[in-house]
């Protein structure tokens, strides 16, 4: 097979490769030499890269770098960077958090993160709760809605077994003490208390039964008692439902909602931050005695 | 055809760079190049050091790209990331401007304003200052490596390196307060990225300006390809009037004796020897030609000596070249610059610019963003009312604190309060003070009687309390949101 002599492009004097596409031909222009050197340099670089970094299965690079190690370092650096904020939260009394907006902000954000890990299972991702699990966004609190009360609830839990300081109360199951009809009358009265029904003969009868059996905890007016976690029966919020069936079941069988205690399971700062977060959800109440006004208004958070 | 034909053993797989030693030249285009170079370098080096008073809440650097703070300052204009479409607009203007410049004056960017051209030119002047002009440079290049040659090379490289460091060093001052950064940089306390940036830019300037030069234009840069595709037969390019120059003769007598016809080109190679990319313009328009017009200056010098009219090599479009070749009169250059295509490009370019200026002048400096709480959307309160919440981001884009009144329009039964307030103080409006040049984030609650299903839209108005009524600063920022009950 004979080699044809390469044809030469008239305009440039460069040899043609021999390809032709619809009359367009390719020039056989040589690469610049430095380009070839750069290519060689990349090959050398890749060899060094294979040695220095983990490129082969199960072989660590000579630098010891790994993405896991990098993550560890990042986390360590984050922990160090976060330490001042954590320390500030730790050093501030729970009732004084609101007086330090910057500390409060970091506490709320820390609480937001901890909530997602520890609390959403019952209270939901948005803390809106569900039947039997309180909505933490509203302004109704069984055991108190100021930040210190929330903190206490978080630390000790509610009816948490094995904890002496836990918040404890138990409503009796009235099915053994009252007749079905009597329970029905009390339900009628409670629905009148909460403004859901108009007064009826049954509710008047229920009022007497209520005063006898329920008022000791829920109060004569049904407004509840936070000392013993007795819910306010006059408001619009029902933990287990305010319809007749739910109320009947509550009175007949009682409820026994449990929240675990977190003291000892989470560190003190995290619990404090969780309290700050829950308090910030819109229903938080001011600390009762001599609530200190916010000391400094900040640019981020100023209202009148 | 065999596969072996694809590899041409004669041309080889690669070729070495032919060194280019452009001779110094004087003339009108060289003077223009000087002017453009001094202007470009002055703008580049001086800009970050210009001060601009914006009051105590904003930096006083006239041009500052504050990446960390996400602000872009340019004299009286401040751009927030949300307003990045102004930068996009500038890029569109740059694109249309490229069409305009290329269709009018060809590769003027390549020849005069491209940093590669400007710094290569600067480096070549340093080279001439140390090594002498073209002939001395060639001689030195071919000379053996003696101590004297090494000394000259070291001096030249040191000067290049000094220029390169200054070039890379100037860049970082656009991104931070220049005097502060200069001090930090000198004392070794600047951010590592500052040193890395200076290092990379120093290296590229030194290598591209000192050693790569025309290789960058010919092999690395996409610009020549793009620009070549945008040229048409009316674009101004550097053209050799070969109908006037050919046949070339190296002596009039010799030429006259050989045949009757004598061209103006005396084949003195002046055009080739001054070319910074080493091309021969007499071969016609080509990729390597950056249209710097130095060959025009060189040829004009020679033509003047020969008492021939200037412009054997000249800025000339291909249409006019054909016209002249056919014996037509030379057309005025304005006819090339002002033609429908360039005028349309200019009109588009100018309209975008004017529109941007208009919108810059009219843009809001106060804005509300409202993101409704989604989990939960609706919170029933103990009194039976329904609460919705919004995360409000109030953007105060002025460099001063603002006092505003945030008020509800619509939803007459609704009352609002913020996370810094108690619901007992809920009202139809709240007063807020906004930090200067910052986004103030707050949580807004609105409660209204429940019971009705559906969504009720209402408007949040942020009315400035600290501006002359009727002035631009007094404009109300609004945002329509929905109150959702069920």
Q: What is the ipTM of this complex?
A: 0.83
Q: Would B17 be classed as within a structural domain?
A: no
Are A278 and A127 in contact, with CB atoms under 8 Å apart? yes
Nearest CA in chain A to B434: A299
Are B210 and B160 in contact, with CB atoms under 8 Å apart? yes
d(CA A136, CA A126): 9
Q: Would B115 be classed as within a structural domain?
A: yes
Name the residue range of residue B254's domain: 231-331
Sign of the Cα pseudo-torsion (A135, A139, A141, A147, in order): positive
Label residues B40-70 b or e (16+ Cβ within 10 Å = b): bbeeeeebbeeeeebeeebbebbbbbbeeee
Count the domains in chain B.
3
Out of B8, B212, B423, whose CB is closest to A15? B8
Which two three-digit tokens encode residue A262? 């977190």
Beta bridge partners of B480: B459
d(CA B361, CA B355): 10
A280 neighbourhood in chain B, CB within 8 Å: 419
Q: Do A303 and B445 touch (CB under 8 A)?
A: no
Q: Can you give the residue ranges of every domain in chain A? A: 78-164+259-279, 174-253
Length of chain B: 486
Q: Kindly state whether B3 is in contact with chain A, defined as any CB-CB distance less than 8 angstroms.
A: no
CATH of region A78-164+259-279: 1.10.760.10
Q: Which of B468, B472, B442 is nearest to B366 (CA)?
A: B472
Sign of the Cα pseudo-torsion (A277, A278, A281, A286, in order): negative
**Do residue B447 and residue B457 come from a single domain?**
yes
**Do residue B86 and residue B190 come from a single domain?**
yes
Beta bridge partners of B459: B409, B480
Q: Would B9 be classed as within a structural domain?
A: no
Q: Comparing A78-164+259-279 with A174-253, is the CATH topology the same?
A: yes
**Do residue B256 and residue B398 come from a single domain?**
no
Angle (deg, nearest 10), helices A268-279 and A101-118? 100
**Residue B228 phi, psi (nearest 5):** -60, -40
Q: Do B376 and A126 touch (CB under 8 A)?
A: yes
Are A25 and A9 in contact, with CB atoms under 8 Å apart? yes
**Do residue B137 and residue B200 come from a single domain?**
yes
Residue percentage of chain B with pLDDT more than 70 = 95
B289 neighbourhood in chain A, CB within 8 Å: none
**Residue A27 phi, psi (nearest 5):** -80, 145
Choosing from B280, B314, B331, the residue where a domain stops is B331
* Contact residues of A toward B, CB < 8 A: 1, 3-4, 6, 11, 14-15, 17-18, 28, 30-36, 124-126, 128, 135, 137-140, 195, 232, 235-237, 280, 282-283, 286, 294, 297, 299-304
**Do residue B64 and residue B172 come from a single domain?**
yes
Collapsing DSSP to helix, strand or coil, A216 comes out as helix
Collapsing DSSP to helix, strand or coil, B367 comes out as strand
Q: Do B384 and A235 touch (CB under 8 A)?
A: yes
Choosing from B204, B229, B254, the residue where a domain stops is B229
Q: Kindly state whether B418 is in contact with chain A, defined as any CB-CB distance less than 8 angstroms.
A: yes
Give the pLDDT of chain A (304 residues) as one tens digit per residue: 446 677 888 877 888 888 888 988 888 888 888 888 899 999 999 999 999 999 988 888 899 999 999 999 999 999 999 999 999 999 999 999 989 999 999 999 999 999 999 999 999 999 999 999 999 999 999 999 999 999 999 999 999 999 999 999 999 999 999 999 999 999 999 999 999 999 999 999 999 999 999 999 999 999 999 999 999 999 999 999 999 999 999 999 999 999 999 999 999 999 999 999 999 999 999 888 654 444 444 444 443 3
Q: Do A6 and B418 touch (CB under 8 A)?
A: no
Q: Would B90 be classed as within a structural domain?
A: yes
d(CA B452, CA A41): 73
| CATH superfamily for domain A174-253 | Cytochrome c-like domain (1.10.760.10)
**Do residue B180 and residue B245 come from a single domain?**
no
**Do residue B473 and residue B412 come from a single domain?**
yes
d(CA A248, CA A184): 7
Give the pLDDT of chain B (486 residues) as one tens digit per residue: 344 333 444 546 778 888 899 999 999 999 999 999 999 999 999 999 999 999 999 999 999 999 989 999 999 899 999 898 999 999 999 999 988 998 888 889 999 999 999 999 999 999 999 999 999 999 999 999 999 999 999 999 999 999 999 999 999 999 999 999 999 999 999 999 999 999 999 999 999 999 999 999 998 999 888 888 888 888 889 999 988 888 787 766 565 656 667 788 988 999 999 999 999 999 888 888 999 999 999 999 999 998 889 999 999 988 899 999 898 888 888 888 898 999 999 999 999 999 999 999 889 899 999 999 998 999 999 999 999 999 999 999 999 999 999 999 999 999 999 998 889 999 999 999 999 999 999 999 999 998 778 899 999 999 999 988 888 889 999 999 999 998
Query: What's the start-to-end Cα distance of chain B, in Å?
Result: 79
Out of B1, B284, B379, whose CB is closest to A282? B379
Which two three-digit tokens encode residue B114? 């491209």
d(CA B438, CA B435): 6
Choosing from B229, B261, B277, the residue where a domain stops is B229
CA distance B138 to chain A (A): 21
A138 neighbourhood in chain B, CB within 8 Å: 379-382, 387
d(CA B378, CA B384): 12
**Do residue B225 and residue B242 come from a single domain?**
no
Name which of B8, B220, B387, B486 to mutate to probe chain A: the one with the most chain A Cβ atoms within 10 A of its Cβ: B8
Q: Which of B199, B221, B202 is nearest to B119 (CA)?
A: B202
CA distance B400 to chain A (A): 12
A11-50 confidence digits (pLDDT tens): 778 888 888 889 888 888 888 888 888 999 999 999 999 9
Q: Kindly state whether B379 is in contact with chain A, defined as any CB-CB distance less than 8 angstroms.
A: yes
Name which of B16, B398, B420, B446 to mutate to probe chain A: the one with the most chain A Cβ atoms within 10 A of its Cβ: B420
Out of B219, B419, B423, whose CB is closest to A280? B419
CA distance B53 to chain A (A): 23
């Amino acid at each position: 097979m004979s080699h044809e002599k390469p044809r030469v492009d008239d305009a440039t004097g460069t040899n043609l490769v021999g390809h032709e596409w619809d009359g367009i031909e390719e020039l056989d222009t040589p690469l610049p030499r430095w380009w070839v050197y750069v290519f060689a340099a990349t090959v050398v670089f890749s060899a060094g890269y294979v040695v220095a970094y983990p490129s082969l299965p199960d072989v660590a690079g000579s630098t010891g770098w790994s993405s896991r190690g990098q993550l560890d370092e990042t986390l360590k650096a984050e922990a160090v960077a976060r330490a001042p904020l954590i320390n500030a939260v730790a050093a501030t009394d729970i009732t004084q958090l609101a007086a330090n907006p910057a500390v409060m902000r970091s506490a709320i954000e820390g609480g937001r993160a901890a909530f997602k890990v520890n609390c959403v299972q019952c209270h939901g991702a948005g803390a809106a709760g569900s039947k039997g699990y309180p909505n933490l966004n509203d302004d109704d609190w069984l055991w108190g809605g100021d930040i210190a009360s929330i903190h206490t609830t978080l630390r000790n839990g509610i009816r948490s077994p094995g904890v002496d300081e836990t918040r404890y109360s138990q409503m009796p199951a009235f099915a053994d003490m009252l007749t079905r009809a009597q329970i029905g009358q009390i339900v009628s009265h409670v629905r009148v208390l909460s403004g859901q029904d108009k007064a009826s003969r049954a509710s008047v009868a229920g009022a007497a039964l209520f005063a006898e059996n329920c008022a000791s905890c829920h109060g004569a007016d049904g407004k509840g008692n936070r000392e013993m976690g007795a819910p306010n029966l006059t408001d619009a919020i029902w933990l287990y439902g305010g319809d007749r069936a739910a109320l009947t079941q509550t009175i007949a069988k009682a409820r026994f909602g449990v929240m675990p205690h977190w003291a000892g399971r989470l560190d003190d700062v995290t619990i404090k931050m969780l309290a700050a977060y829950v308090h910030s959800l819109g229903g938080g109440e001011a600390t009762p005695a001599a609530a200190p006004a916010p000391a400094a208004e900040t640019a981020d958070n100023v209202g009148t | 055809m065999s596969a072996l034909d694809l590899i041409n053993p004669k041309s080889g797989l690669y070729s070495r760079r032919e060194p280019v030693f452009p001779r110094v030249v004087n003339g009108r285009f060289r003077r223009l190049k000087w002017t453009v170079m001094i202007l470009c370098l002055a703008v580049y080096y001086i800009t970050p050091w210009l001060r601009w008073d914006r009051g105590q809440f904003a930096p006083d650097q006239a041009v500052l790209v504050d990446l960390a703070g996400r602000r872009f300052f340019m004299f009286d204009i401040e751009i927030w990331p949300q307003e990045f479409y102004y930068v996009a607009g500038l890029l569109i203007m740059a694109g249309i401007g490229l069409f305009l410049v290329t269709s009018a004056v060809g590769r003027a960017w390549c020849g005069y304003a491209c940093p590669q051209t400007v710094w290569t030119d600067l480096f070549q002047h340093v080279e001439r200052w140390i090594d002498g002009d073209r002939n001395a440079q060639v001689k030195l290049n071919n000379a053996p490596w003696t101590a004297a040659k090494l000394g000259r090379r070291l001096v030249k490289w040191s000067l290049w390196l000094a220029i390169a460091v200054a070039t890379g060093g100037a860049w970082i001052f656009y991104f931070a307060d220049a005097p502060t950064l200069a001090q930090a940089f000198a004392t070794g306390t600047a951010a590592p990225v500052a040193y890395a940036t200076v290092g990379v830019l120093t290296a590229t300037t030194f290598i591209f300006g000192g050693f790569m030069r025309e290789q960058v234009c010919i092999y690395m840069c996409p610009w020549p390809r793009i620009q070549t595709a945008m040229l048409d037969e009316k674009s101004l390019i550097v053209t050799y009037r070969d109908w006037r120059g050919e046949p070339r003769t190296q002596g009039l007598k010799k030429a006259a004796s050989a045949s009757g016809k004598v061209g103006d080109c005396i084949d003195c190679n002046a055009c080739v020897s001054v070319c910074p990319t080493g091309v021969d313009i007499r071969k016609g328009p080509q990729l390597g030609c950056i249209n710097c017009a130095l060959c025009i200056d060189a040829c004009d010098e020679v033509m003047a000596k020969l008492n021939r009219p200037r412009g054997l090599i000249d800025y000339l479009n291909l249409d006019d070249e054909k016209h002249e070749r056919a014996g037509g009169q030379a057309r005025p250059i304005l006819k090339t610059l002002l033609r429908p295509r360039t005028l349309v490009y200019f009109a588009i370019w100018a309209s975008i610019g004017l529109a941007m200026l208009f919108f810059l002048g009219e843009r809001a400096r106060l804005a509300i963003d409202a993101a409704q709480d989604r989990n939960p959307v609706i919170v029933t309160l103990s009194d039976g009312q329904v609460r919705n919440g919004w995360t409000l981001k109030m953007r105060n884009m002025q460099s001063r604190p603002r006092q505003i009144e945030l008020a509800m329009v619509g939803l007459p039964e609704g009352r609002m309060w913020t996370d810094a307030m108690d619901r007992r103080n809920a009202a139809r409006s709240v007063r807020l003070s906004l930090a200067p040049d910052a986004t103030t984030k707050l949580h807004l609650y609105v409660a209204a009687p429940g019971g009705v299903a559906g969504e009720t839209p209402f408007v949040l108005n942020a009315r400035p309390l600290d501006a002359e009524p009727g002035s631009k600063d007094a404009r109300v920022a609004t945002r329509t949101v929905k109150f959702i009950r069920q």
